[in-house]
Every structure is written in C-alpha cells, then in structure tokens.
Amino acid sequence: MIEIKNVTKKYGDFTAIENLSLKIEESSIYGLVGYNGAGKTTLLKTAIGMFKANKGKVLVDGENVYDNEEIRKSMFFVPDEIYFLPQANILDMSKFYKGFYPKWNDNIRKRLTELFRLDEKERIAKFSKGMQRQTAIILALSSKPKYLLLDELFDGLDPVIRRVVRELLIEVISETKTTVMVSTHNLRELEDLCDHIGIINNKKIIYDNSTDEIGNNKFRCKVILENKSKLEDYSSINLRKLKISGKIATFIASEREEILDKKLALINPLLVEKVPLSLEEVLLEEMEVEDYDFKGLFN
C-alpha cells in the first residue's frame, strides 16, 4: 500500500503540492488526473522517493520511501521523459535494469517485445516516440515490480496500442497483484482502466473516489415542476450551476442517487431527467473549468 501523508513539496518559493494525503490500496490501479502543471508528476516522483517532501512523508508498505533502496527494488517508475542509455537497444536496457531489479524476467521482456513487434536489437534512439514508450512499458513490466508508477502513460501511443496496454495492465494486476499509479490526460482510458480516480487541482487532491462511485454520485439533472420553480425548492440538494427558467430547473447534483431521488421527491416534480456524469465531466466540474472567451482573438 502506498500512503501519502500530508505531503507538501515546494520548488523554491513555488508550492507544487500542499498538505496532500492519499492512500493507494494494493492490487489497484489509481488514476491521477489534473491540469498541466497541477502537480501530478511531482506527486509521482515524491511517491517513488525521488523527491524529498518538504513536509509529510510517503510510506510504502509502512516504510518511508525516500531514498529507500529496498523499497525501490519493488517499484518501477516510467517517467514522462524516458531515459535510455546512449546507443542502447532493448537488450542493453534489459541488462541495465536487470541489475537493479532482482525479480527481472527475460521471458516477459521477450514476449512483450514480440507482442509490440519491436526489434530488440535496434537502437532505441531510432524508435518513434510511441515505440519508445512501448519499450519503457516492456522494461517496466519485465522488472516485475510490486508498485508501478506511470507518468503520462498513453502519451504517443496509437489507439490500438493503448488498448493493448490497458489490457496488459489489467492482466498484470490480476496475475501479480501489482499496484499501479498512473497519471494521464486521457480520461476515457482511465475510466475503463482504473478502479480509483484522484483529481489533483490547486496543489491538493480535490476528488478521490472509486470509478464505480463516479457514476453514482454526480448527476446532471433537469427538473420540471407544476408551478414556477424557486430557489428554495432545491435548497436541500447539494448542487451547482442551478439555472431556473419558469417551471424548469437544471443543475448538477453531487448526491448519491437514492438520496437525490428522495430529496427530489419532496418537491413533487412533474418530470426528472437524471444523467450520471462521465469522468471527463466530473473532472471539468470538479476543477471548475471556466469558459474561455476567444472572440476577436484572430481578427
């Protein structure tokens, strides 16, 4: 289990994450979502023990992870900027990682290389960005880590490979009980992949829930009353973006479905339309994305 406890990380005067806490259960896939520069990479690098937190600590299996050699032998981090030795091929990189990861499995490496149809004797520098990311995934999975941290996992991967990777990760978890922490911008991929989602914004985790819960506690609602709608009618509901137009009211409710239904029943609606929010909508909603005004920009 990865426990992030009240972690604050600063770059000079700039605070990247502040007093952030998070728990990632074993054998789960945790998806981390946030704006560019929200602190996803900082959180991952602190979680792997590369960065030292200014405050708080990261515990992995109950031990402080910072500069902890033993713990890190069971962790593999695939960063957004991937490093390969100069002029190295997959075999060279395998030798490189094999020395640091005691559970390294060449068989996995071979099979995955074939799966991704990569030439393991070709210099990696010649690979495309997507192929290099595939290589990193091969190396990561071959090391058989207990904890796998993946930054911008799907960057540069084509849709087919994305699907393969997604399935691979699911397979890994089911077979090896690996815990995966993944950050990405590709919300749709996360939705299908992760069993837990965290949204990082304004230096903090502002949303942390299982993917099952996402469809069960955020709804876009349209309510039609018999008489003209009033603000007081909806005061008991935890909602945002309420718009009233005569008898019709629209809003986004943050309530569990059964509770929401009960509260709506109290105002005797003629009609209720209730649609669960998608992950992307939840992200936009939680992060209060403002509307940008581009009018006249290119005149």
Residues at the contact surface with other proteins, assessed by CB under 8 A: 11, 42, 45, 48-52, 67-70, 72-77, 79, 81-83, 85, 96-102
Q: Which is nearest to 24 in space by CA: 194, 152, 170?
A: 194
First and final C-alpha spacing in the chain: 54
- Angle (deg, nearest 10), helices 106-115 and 90-98: 150
How far is 66 from 52, CA to CA, in rounded Å?
Answer: 6
Q: What are phi and psi of 92, to 5 degrees?
A: -60, -45
Q: At 156, is the secondary structure helix, strand, or coil?
A: coil
Scanning the structure block, which residue is given the tokens 């030292």?
Answer: 52
Is residue 111 within 8 A of residue 142, CB to CB? The reply is no
Nearer to other proteins (CB atom), residue 126 or residue 230: 126
Closest distance of CB 49 from other proteins, Å: 7
Nearer to other proteins (CB atom), residue 181 or residue 253: 181
CA atoms within 13 A on the CB side of 128: 8
Closest distance of CB 206 from other proteins, Å: 23
Closest distance of CB 137 from other proteins, Å: 15
Q: Which is nearest to 60 in space by CA: 148, 161, 124?
A: 148
Type of residue numbered 26:
E
Is residue 197 within 8 A of residue 28, CB to CB? The reply is no
Closest distance of CB 46 from other proteins, Å: 10
Closest distance of CB 3 from other proteins, Å: 18
Closest distance of CB 288 from other proteins, Å: 28
Closest distance of CB 28 from other proteins, Å: 21
For residue 173 the two structure tokens come to 């978890």
Longest dimension (CA), the chain: 74
Is residue 94 within 8 A of residue 142, CB to CB? The reply is yes
Closest distance of CB 75 from other proteins, Å: 7
Scanning the structure block, which residue is given the tokens 């792997």?
Answer: 48
Element (H, E) at 198: strand 196-201
Q: CA distances (Å), 267 to each of 235, 249, 260, 264, in order?
A: 11, 12, 12, 6
Nearer to other proteins (CB atom), residue 48 or residue 112: 48
Nearer to other proteins (CB atom), residue 35 or residue 97: 97
Nearer to other proteins (CB atom), residue 80 or residue 195: 80
